[in-house]
Amino acid sequence: MVNSSGIIILLVLIAIAVGLIFLQYKLCSAENGKKAGLILPIISFVISVICAVSVFLFAAAKTTSTSKTYDDDGNVIASEVIEEEADSSDVIPTIVGAFLCTNIPTTLFMIEYAILRSGKKKSELEAAEMAKTQIQDL
């Protein structure tokens, strides 16, 4: 049986994604769409950089553990704090993976921006060509 809260969360995430795609369409289609269409990709990129930095800080942090030695009666006879540094060969792929995964929305927003801007440029060129043709006909 499928969990109903999982379905609700999935529907909310889909609604948010559709809403953001529609918002990007409206921003790119606006009169000042050249600048406004870059708002969501820039916000998305900044969020992905923040995520990558936080993954770096989390992965690069020292891990601390405590080792205790007990006697036969259950009393602690020795306690030792162990600090381990993170292996940098494991941290770099994790950071790159986090950065690439969180940049998927940025890529999608930029693709939508490029498609809508090229369509707008094409229609502007066609309008300019029509105006030129009408002037020549006069």
Tens-digit pLDDT profile for residues 96-138: 999 999 999 999 999 999 998 887 666 666 666 666 666 666 5
HSE of 137, CA atoms in CB hemisphere, 13 A: 6
Q: What is the pLDDT of residue 13?
A: 93
